[in-house]
Amino acid sequence: MAEEPDRLTRMAGEESAATAGERAYYRLPAQGWQSVWPVLEPRLRELRARLDAVLDDRQRDAGAPTPAELALELGGAVTALFEQLAPEERDLRDVVTTLRTALALCWDMYSYQEAGRVTVRAHMERLQSDIEGFEARLEQVQEASGPQP
């Protein structure tokens, strides 16, 4: 008699109830601009002015935001838009995103066979070591690229 696959095997390849959850994660309320415009209009108009400054050759070097500043402003606008579309879902979406990242990391760190032999403590120690290693590499890259503002 064939043995039923365990949960990890099912998670790795079969469609399950998780698929329905995934669909919920990527679904947003179908709202029009009228529901978000009053709150977002000032921010979007400011963002447009900042983008115009970047696109204008004469302003790019004198008054336009730096690439890093623009990236932060664009990210802030995206966050604000999502908060207006589905504010009651924000915390749940953050948790799902964090847990998906953790699960992907586990699959990257350990094979299916290793996962059955690795303790939580060993996993945490390896994560901490990897984090410290990547932080050290980040610091080296930053130092090599010159002074940071």
Summarised one tens digit per residue, pLDDT across range 75-92 is: 999 989 988 888 888 888
For the entire predicted model, the pTM comes to: 0.58
Q: Does residue 45 lie within any of the structural domains?
A: yes
Strands of the chain, DSSP E: none
Going by pLDDT thresholds of 50, 70 and 90, the confidence category of residue 62 is confident
Q: Does residue 122 lie within any of the structural domains?
A: no
Q: Is pLDDT above 70 for 47?
A: yes
Q: What letter represents residue 124's amino acid?
A: M
Q: Does residue 136 lie within any of the structural domains?
A: no
Which residue segment(s) compose the domain that 54 sits in?
A: 32-85
Q: Does residue 79 lie within any of the structural domains?
A: yes
Q: Output the pLDDT for position 26.
A: 75
Q: How far apart (Å, rounded) are the C-alpha atoms in residues 97 and 104?
A: 11
Q: Does residue 43 lie within any of the structural domains?
A: yes
Q: How far apart (Å, rounded) are the C-alpha atoms in residues 49 and 65?
A: 10
Q: What percent of the chain has pLDDT over 70?
A: 83
Dihedral of CA 64/58/147/135: which sign?
A: positive
User: What is the tally of structural domains in the chain?
Assistant: 1
Going by pLDDT thresholds of 50, 70 and 90, the confidence category of residue 124 is confident
